[in-house]
Each structure stands twice: as structure tokens, then as C-alpha cells.
A and B are shown apart, each in its own frame.
Chain A
Amino acid sequence: MALADLDIAGEEARVTPIRKTRDLVEEGIKKGYKNIVACGDDSTAHEVINTLAGLKVSKEEICFGIIPIRPSKIAQVLGVPSHEEAIKTISKRRIERVDLGKIGDQYFLISCDIETDESLARPDSFWRKLSFMTRGLASAPKIELNFKEGYRVTAQPTKVCICNILDYGKGKLRIKTDGYMTTNVSPQDELLDVVIVGKLSRSSLLRHLSDIQCNNFGRIPNVSLFRTKKVNISSENPISVMIDRQKMKANNFNCEVVPRKLNVIVGKERKF
């Protein structure tokens, strides 16, 4: 099925070495298009979102949509699991206005993951897993988080995840404490949820490795949760930050929520 089959007209623009995603989006806005649909994967979607979020013109009517060509977390959270579903979703044009997270000068829709050990990001080879098992996280750097709400948290975490949307469930974040606690994570509450996975023993780390990678916090012990409008994160050593699957490295950065920043076209299977 194509968009034309549903009487949806528009202009198709392809990224080339000369015309990048940002140029195409800005051109489309200048021409007066109200719906900007990214056709690709998370990398493409991330660039389009950042361009739309960074626009200085009024963008009340401009909407972001996605047609996933490859597996895409952003497509999943917006309730667009497949190419066919995406076309139907765009034709129905159900719109939600959502918050975005902002770290440095990068916006994110889903989450920003801070990993204190490179191995956690991709322990996919046997030898890396073995090295991870014997070394553990003894060298995990100390991280300080200064929250706008007036308190400071110090930890040597295995991982810090700053969530705007949960990419599983229906926005219900489950945390293991004395039993379990469940809380709502919503991209429409003007807050970010900061989840800190504390230092774990080696055996615990190995047991929960895939849970840590998938942000499945309900199965991991020693987890903290804070909700904030803005947090400054600093560390003595540079730490890796994954933003909607794009990577950057820094010692010190601010992360804040930008309320009601983007209109998105959503399907009924969305995660919020």
C-alpha cells in the first residue's frame, strides 16, 4: 500500500551527500508543508526531530510522522510497528503533543542512556562478555547529579537512564524495591524520569545484563528513581551518552525537559 492509495499527496525528498536531512526538512517547512514524515530508521527520525525542535518559527501546526524502513524504536513507541501500519496511521493523522528531552544541544524523544562502562553498550562477543565477567565494574566512575528541585545525588552507577517515554509496556515503569512499585512515565507530564541502576555485584551484573541493556528495570535490584525538570550530570571521567541510539561523550552536561515541544502522529499501539 502506498500513501497515494489513500489520497495522501506530498513531496518526496531523498537525502543525498549534498542535501542532508536538515536541509530537506527546512525546505519542506518553507514550502508550507505541515506534516514531515521521516522514512527510515531511528537515525533518520532523530535528525528530523532535532531539526523540527530547533526551528525558530512557530510550529504549532507542524507534525512529525515516521514510516519505518528498518526496525525503529521511535516508530514502536509512536505505535507504528510496520511500514503498512505507518501508512494507515499517517492517513488517520491522530496527533499528540509531547515533551522532548534535551541534553546539550540534542533533543531526544525516548531516552538518554548514560553507560559508565563501554562493555555494557555492546557485550555481544563472547570474549567481551568474559572480560566483563572477570573485570566487573570496579572502575565505574563516580557521577554527581544536581537536580533543579534542590538536591544532589552521588552514585557509582552501572547505568543512568533519563526517560521521556518508556519503550515497553504502556508507560508503566516497574521498579524492584521491597516488592515492586509501579509508576507512570509519560511524555506529556513535563517531567523526565531519571533511573539510576546502582553498583551491582559481578554475579548480579551478569544475571541482569540483558535487562540492563533493555532498560527492563523491574527485574534489576538496587534501582533509584527521581523525577525532574532539569538535572546537571557531572563526572571526573568522560562518560558515554546514547541519545535515541546516537552516541556522544562528555564530562558534564545538562539534561532538561522541553514541555509540549513536538506534535507527533501516533498509532493506537503507542507506548503512552
Chain B
Amino acid sequence: MFKDAPQAPEEAAGQTIVGNSVKLEGDLILDEDITINGKVSGKVSTSKNLGIGETAEVKADVEAENIVISGKVEGEVKAREKLEITETGKVAGNISAKTLSVAPGAIFSGQCTMEGEGKAEEAKEAEEETEE
């Protein structure tokens, strides 16, 4: 799932996996890779990678370094590096990432912010003001 993610080690120091017959409610805030195949509501945040599988139904704001979505997500999605929505992914909510990949067949409704774009415009305006 994270084949393009930078340096995803084969053996992670820690993993959390939410299986497909499990329901989780609350704040899942961790410092390890998270894989969700079940139902989650609340908040999901990790400093590492997040994978949302085909059978997953997530009603939560999610945040991670790299995110791959193949299931349903309702909520804000924030990837500090890369966000990938695969052909079976469905996202209803605002998304933000430095790098975005949306596969044909994916469904997305919301606003999209590419983090690098805003900063580039600000730097250009600051340069123009200096020249003046």
C-alpha cells in the first residue's frame, strides 16, 4: 500500500491495524503506521503513514505523513507529504497535501489545497514588494 511512500520500512517499530469487523470510536493519535479496514469515527492522527483499505468506513478528520485511501472517508484529510486516492477510494471533505494522486474511478467532493502552491505565491509577492 505504501510502495511509493518514502522509506516505509518492511518491519515497523509499531503498527496499529483496525480489522474489517471492528468498530473504533474516539481519538486514534499515535506515532506509528496505521491501517484501517473497519469502521472508525472520531479523529485519526499519526506522525507516520496511514492506509485506509477498501472495506474501511471512516467518519473522522485524518492526518498523517503519507495517506493512501481505498475506502470511504467523510472528513478533512491532511497529508503532510503525499495523498493518494485509489480507484475504489471515496472522499467527502476537504483535502490537503504536498503531492496528490487521484486514480481514475476515485470519487472526491470537497476543496483541495496543495500546500506548496500557497507558499510559492507568497514568496513571489514578497520578492515583488522588495524590488519596488
Contact = CB atoms under 8 A, between A and B. Distances in A.
Contact of A153 (B1, B24, B32): B24
Interface in B32-78: 32-33, 35, 37-38, 42, 51, 53
Interface stretch (A15-23, A29-37, A221-229): A221-229
Interface residues of B, number: 30
Interface string B1-38: 10000000011111111111111111111101101011
Contact of B11 (A154, A172, A227): A172
B23 A175 contact: no
Interface string A117-156: 0000000000000000000000000000001011111111
Contact of A226 (B1, B11, B16): B16
Interface string B100-111: 000000000000
B41 to A, nearest CB: 10
B17 A224 contact: yes
A183 interface: yes
A198 B20 contact: yes
A184 B35 contact: no
A181 interface: yes
B22 A155 contact: yes
B38 A150 contact: no
A181 B35 contact: yes
Given A153-B24, A177-B35, A177-B53, A227 B16 contact: yes
13 contacts: A149-B28, A152-B25, A154-B23, A154-B25, A156-B21, A183-B13, A184-B13, A198-B20, A222-B21, A223-B19, A224-B19, A225-B17, A227-B32
Interface of A: 147, 149-156, 172, 175, 177-179, 181-184, 196, 198-199, 222-227
